[in-house]
Amino acid sequence: MKQFFWVAAVVFLAACGGESEPESEPATEVEITGEAHYMERIMMPPDSVLEIALIDEVSGDRLVVERMEDVGAPPYPFDLRIDQDLMSSDNQYLLQLTLYLPDATPRFSAEVPVSSNQTNVSEVRLIGVDSSAQGMGSETLAVEWHSFQCGDVAVDANFEMDDQVTLSLPWGKAELPLVPAASGARYGDGEIEFWTRGTDQAHLTIADDDSVECSLRDSMSPWTQAMLDGVDFRAVGNEPGWHVEVMEEEGTMLLTLDHGANRHVFEDVEVWADQAGYHAESSDHEVTVTLAPEPCQDSMVGWTFPFTVSLDINGQALQACGRFLH
């Protein structure tokens, strides 16, 4: 009898409770993360603001904007969140970062392509804004460099001169004269040939290798960007991935280790005579970069650079290939 009573009670209480309301699922967010910095040896004044905006490249709409107040000195880690429904996997997006002075004048800026599948932009270098260039149309700036992806090679082309093209390649620059062609514009020097057809089609041939088709890129190669940013020397190493950039006049060195996971900025860099290398120290690290003017073949892609580079940081030795950019 007692057993029947307890069963009946449980049934009665369950009936009184009724059906529970299904919990609504929280909206899923896309998280865009990274760290912004600039190379110049200056301190931003108090009340400076870093604005981060996500822009739909098709419509031009600013989908989300975040402002970091009174940011102080770099680096600036950021974490931009947006409703997943606002980002389509088919669309391309642009992450726009602008560092404003207290009077709302832009001092540094950068633009980085992102997508719903690629939201960790790692490090973003902010570039100084030239106040005299403000108000210039995008067409004026766009005529200088055209960026292509030619197989494994990121190529930036400058067509300022009518009878030649300047190519910025990872391992160096090449100035190619215009040569006869049945169609399009063909440039070559016997070792490298760059053949364009229209503004968005090209082919690149290097030495005896097969010609590869080139497609337009949304951004410059890191080698060209570093050159335009004023970097004097750049080297890249593998296993683990790392790179170093030195601005000699400013006395600044940017060292990025472990595929971008660790970044160190050194000031008051010692520049050795005869392009022999660099030495720098911070409170936690001592680094020496030794340059040898010997051909260096990149172990991942096979490109040959003019300098073999040895890095020593706190007793850890790493190898790389590099070159001067100016």
The CATH number covering residue 113 comes to 2.60.40.2990
Judged against a pLDDT cut of 80, whether residue 136 lies above it is answered with no
Spatial contact of 231 and 246, defined as CB atoms under 8 Å apart: yes
Is the torsion defined by CA of 248, 304, 38, 147 positive or negative?
Answer: positive
**264 or 89, higher pLDDT:** 264
Q: Quick one: pLDDT at residue 30?
A: 87
The token pair at 215 is 């497609």
Judged against a pLDDT cut of 70, whether residue 123 lies above it is answered with yes
Judged against a pLDDT cut of 50, whether residue 282 lies above it is answered with yes
**32 or 122, higher pLDDT:** 32
Are 299 and 317 within one domain?
yes
Are 169 and 122 within one domain?
no
Q: Quick one: pLDDT at residue 22?
A: 52
Are 120 and 196 within one domain?
no
| 55 DSSP β-pair partners | 62, 94
Judged against a pLDDT cut of 90, whether residue 23 lies above it is answered with no
- Note whether residue 126 is domain-resident: yes
pLDDT tens, residue by residue, 217-258: 878 899 998 998 899 999 999 878 899 999 999 999 999 988
Mean pLDDT, range 198-222, rounded to an integer:
86
Q: Quick one: pLDDT at residue 141?
A: 37
CA distances from 303 to 153, 173, 256, 308, 309 (A): 10, 13, 21, 12, 15
Are 93 and 167 within one domain?
no
d(CA 237, CA 157): 25
Are 112 and 195 within one domain?
no
Judged against a pLDDT cut of 60, whether residue 322 lies above it is answered with yes
Cis-peptide into 75, omega within 30 deg: yes
Are 175 and 207 within one domain?
yes
User: Which of 91, 115, 133 is the endpoint of a domain?
Assistant: 133
Are 122 and 42 within one domain?
yes
Q: Name the band, by pLDDT with cuts 50, 70 and 90, for residue 143.
A: very low
Are 176 and 262 within one domain?
no
What domain range includes position 98? 29-133
CA-wise closest residue to 320 among 233, 216, 243 = 243
| 263 DSSP β-pair partners | 256
Question: Residue for token digits 């989300």?
Answer: 64
Judged against a pLDDT cut of 60, whether residue 142 lies above it is answered with no
CA distances from 309 to 269, 276, 291 (A): 17, 10, 5
- Note whether residue 106 is domain-resident: yes
Question: Residue for token digits 């190898």?
Answer: 319
- Note whether residue 196 is domain-resident: yes
- Note whether residue 59 is domain-resident: yes
Are 240 and 319 within one domain?
yes
Q: Name the band, by pLDDT with cuts 50, 70 and 90, for residue 58.
A: low
d(CA 98, CA 83): 22
Q: Quick one: pLDDT at residue 27?
A: 54
User: Which of 216, 243, 258 is the endpoint of a domain?
Assistant: 216
User: Which of 104, 133, 162 is the endpoint of a domain?
Assistant: 133
Are 127 and 147 within one domain?
no
- Note whether residue 11 is domain-resident: no
Mean pLDDT, range 2-25, rounded to an integer:
46
Judged against a pLDDT cut of 50, whether residue 158 lies above it is answered with yes
Of all residues in the chain, what percent carry a pLDDT higher than 90?
A: 43
Cis-peptide into 102, omega within 30 deg: no
Q: What is the largest CA-CA distance in the chain?
A: 106
Question: What 8-state DSSP symbol labels residue 74?
Answer: S
CATH code of residue 150 = 2.40.128.200
**138 or 204, higher pLDDT:** 204
Question: Residue for token digits 């660790």?
Answer: 262
Could you give the number of structural domains in the chain? 3
Are 40 and 79 within one domain?
yes
**13 or 171, higher pLDDT:** 171
Are 33 and 129 within one domain?
yes
